[in-house]
Amino acid sequence: MADAENPFTLVYNALWNCLLAHPKFIADVREGNRISFIHDANRDPLKQAVQSADLPEVILDSQQVTAQMYYSSTGSKIIRNYAFLVSTGDFRIQKILYQVEWEIFCAMHGWTSILTALKWPIATTLPDNRPSFVKRCDIVSANDGQFDNQRNRNINGWSAIWACEVEMHFAWQDLKDELTI
């Protein structure tokens, strides 16, 4: 199966790009500790054994979807939920957890330029002025805890889950055109 530039892939990459646009996030979370599930070569990016150098770690996880097939007289709406999973390996809350959480919060304000720049369907025959399909992006909850044995893989420290939802709107005709490709 070929990689598809579908809206879900585009949004997932754009959420990462929001974080990567924050220079402090880049400095505080090493590249190998930014776990993305969109890789050409790595089918299992999760580290089974974690050492101190592997932390802090931030994972972008895909969570759930709700959709309204007939949201309006001409379109559909889908809300996709994602979560930034943070593992620190450190109990000093101000040293890593609060720093990374603040960086995520600030970085996500870039959605208005990064996510709204996304266009679909991707076709050279369509005008460049077509609207973005991303209508909203919000952090909807954040939970912290001192120890998550499974996610931290037996390394003690603070953990957090920052849940985010992205609302996307699509014209029925564009969705129907997918059926003829």
- 10-residue mean pLDDT profile of the chain (181 residues): values are 76 96 97 83 64 87 95 95 94 95 98 94 61 94 79 76 96 88 67
- d(C-alpha 35, C-alpha 87), whole Å: 11
CATH 3.40.190.290 assigned to domain 7-40+51-180? The reply is no
Per-residue confidence (pLDDT) for residue 46, from 0 to 100: 65
What whole-number distance in Å separates Cα of residue 29 and Cα of residue 87? Answer: 11
Rounded Cα gap, residues 82 and 164, in angstroms: 5
Torsion of CA 132, 35, 80, 76, to 10 degrees: 40
